[in-house]
Amino acid sequence: MKVLVVNCGSSSVKYTLFDMNGEKKIAWGIIERIGQPEAYYKRQTSTTEEKEDSVKVANHSEAVELIIKNLLDKKTGSISDVKEISVVGHRIVHGGDKFSNSVLATEEAKEALKSLFPIAPLHNPANYAGILAVEKMLPGVPSVLVFDTAFHHTMPDYAYMYALPYELYEKDHIRRYGFHGTSHNYVAHRAAAMLGKPLSEINLITAHLGNGSSITAIQKGKVLDTSMGFTPLGGVIMGTRCGDIDPAIVTYLMGFYPKYKDANTLDVMMNKESGLYGISGSSDMREIVKAKAAGNKKAKLAFDMLAYSVKKYISAYFGALNGVDGLVFTGGIGENSYTVREKICENLSALGIEMDKVKNAESSSEERFVSTPGSKVKIMIIPTNEELMIARESKKVLEKG
């Protein structure tokens, strides 16, 4: 069975074609800057090297059309007929309270997805455009919707509710949803395998650290709590997002700064002008680490703030779980920045978290332990694979019919 995984952003389409017999990647790539005068198409297959072209792509439909044509190319393609694709799996950022599992993209499901546009205006419309584009190019091939929020639906009400008037939950479904669920789900299963125990018997804290970051507490295989909330803005400091702040700051700014009286301006400020970028002028942790080493005080501050915000969540979740078997780092920063990992784990020995700094500093793209032999909590670095998780979910839904 071949599964095509599609991840549509506001101006990009990322894809991976899997052969589920052995879960092998056949082809993968990304089209970026959709709708701009010049877009870029980067692609690769299991038998060819990476190639990048400048292309003109006006919308998601044209992007998907270009991808399908490339997959069918007689010289460099990976399939001879679109019928070889059994199902297409779509990454959907926000499932709200309507979706707690992956589902077939029926007309009813698509209408429910459209109703969630107001609470995920940056992501869900692009995800929806990708579904329509795939249906146009691959008529008759079923699509499956895989939600970033689904894994977090096991949270108890005392963890997901906000202390706002209850009617806001009843009427507008304002609650904590959490995100990066596909990634947290994948690394949790891999962590259990590395520990040699069933996921249902262990407690984990998983830290997905990238341009967007979230921390999740997993109790016996089920999510107890997670740092992101109603939207992906809450939680730890991120690349351009502020994370947790005193909500009264918003009303203060609206009252004293004319430019922040508009809700959209405030939203842009908190989502795109804050976080690491707002403090240091860069959202790239690699640049921040270099600037910090060169003596840049703002870079050091941004670095320390990120590490401290993650440390606070780890400590809180350790208490909520009443002990932890494993701490997992994943995502672009979590997998690649040994300095960030080291700073986060500094002075956590009281919780039984002790890092082997030599192992941690070793360069590797493999799953590995970086805790000391005596550490009660095993520290793991696990490269995430959201695309494979989406392919698995899509295969499972298709087989269930």
| Measured distance CA(159)–CA(177) in Å, rounded | 10
Residue type for position 281? G
Strand order in the sheet with 143-147: 51-55, 39-45, 24-32, 12-19, 2-8, 85-92, 143-147, 103-104
Tokens of 73: 């190319």
| Measured distance CA(128)–CA(34) in Å, rounded | 15
| Measured distance CA(29)–CA(2) in Å, rounded | 16
| In contact, 393 and 146? CB cutoff 8 Å | yes
| Measured distance CA(401)–CA(394) in Å, rounded | 11
The per-residue DSSP string of 150-179 comes to GGGGG--HHHH--SS-HHHHHHH--S---S
Give the residue among 392, 401, 390, 386 at the shortest CA–CA distance from 104. 401
SS3 state of residue 92: strand
At 88, phi and psi to the nearest 5?
A: -115, 125
Q: Which of 73, 97, 148, 304 is catalytic?
A: 148
Give the residue among 382, 312, 311 at the shortest CA–CA distance from 343. 311
| Measured distance CA(198)–CA(189) in Å, rounded | 9
Is 81 labeled as catalytic in the residue annotation? no
| In contact, 367 and 379? CB cutoff 8 Å | no
- Give me the active site residues, please: 148
